[in-house]
Amino acid sequence: MIIGVATNGLTRSTQLLLAGFLSLARAWAQDPFEIHVYEYEPLAWREYSLETHVNVTAQGTDARDGSLLATEHQTHVTLEPTVGLSENFAMGFMFLNAWEPGYAPQFAGWRVLPHFYAPEAWGLPVHLGFVAEFSFQNARYEENTRRVELRPILDRESARWQIVFNPVFERALHGPGTRRGWNFEPALLLRWKRRGFSPSIEYYGEVESLNVQPRAQPEVHQLFLGGDWRITEIFSVNLGTGFDVGPRGPGVVIKSRLEWDWRKSAGKPAP
């Protein structure tokens, strides 16, 4: 291969840097099947919710990359039911589906998500939670077919504002990404709470290889502008448009989330 011949005389660090630039096209700061900052949303026993995520890559890659299909105009549909098992523990599942122009719709994988929440009775200055995610995916849509994600939740609300931070740590368990070790993928939500429609800004980032040399690979940053509509007491809609901040990332992404929430407190309107 021409690339192999050209890199014979380069140092190891230069080769790694070049490899990083060659892989820019497939860089994602956020999971294309679920673009969502997790909030403090405990479900008690016999309470449950259902989310449907529909995300479209409006501007992406136009050619296959190894096992991965082109991402241009790729559509992802995810069904996510979650059921409360106790006051501070819930279990969620994701069923991933994808459609690429020129291909039939496909089942893209599934995930298991245990949720844990610190009781409000503790009187902490922020609401605390934790969600683990174990992912099993089709190699056409994720080169690392098995992954684990650890997602702390720090949620602070006032009468008019809500800020949520997810300092996420993720690593591949099977696939080429295993050699990169743990990645840091912070996510941040700032919401202006209003009756009916609440506008918001969401940030998603990624820093690869926290514990593997060379550490702190080139970063990915994305911003999403959008908001939430409260349609009924149990049904809400989130819409947003995302774009890259910097040279790396998936391009322009349009995301949506439909949520049916049967918690006893879910229908309380914003002040």
Model confidence over 211-244: pLDDT tens digits?
888 777 768 899 999 999 999 999 999 999 999 8
Give the model's pLDDT for residue 57. 79
Look up tokens 């549909």; give the residue.
77
pLDDT of residue 71: 61
The H or E element spanning position 252 is: none
Cβ atoms 96, 70 nearer than 8 A: no
Please give the helix or strand (H or E) that residue 246 lies within, else none.
none
Q: Does domain 2-261 have CATH number 3.40.50.300?
A: no
Answer yes or no: is pLDDT of 6 > 70: no
* Helical (H) or strand (E) element with 3: helix 2-6
Contact assessment for residue 56 and residue 32, using Cβ atoms and an 8 Å cutoff:
no
Domain range summary for the chain, segments of one domain joined by +: 2-261
Q: Could you report the per-residue pLDDT of 11-41, keeping only the tens digit for each?
A: 544 444 333 333 333 445 568 899 999 999 9
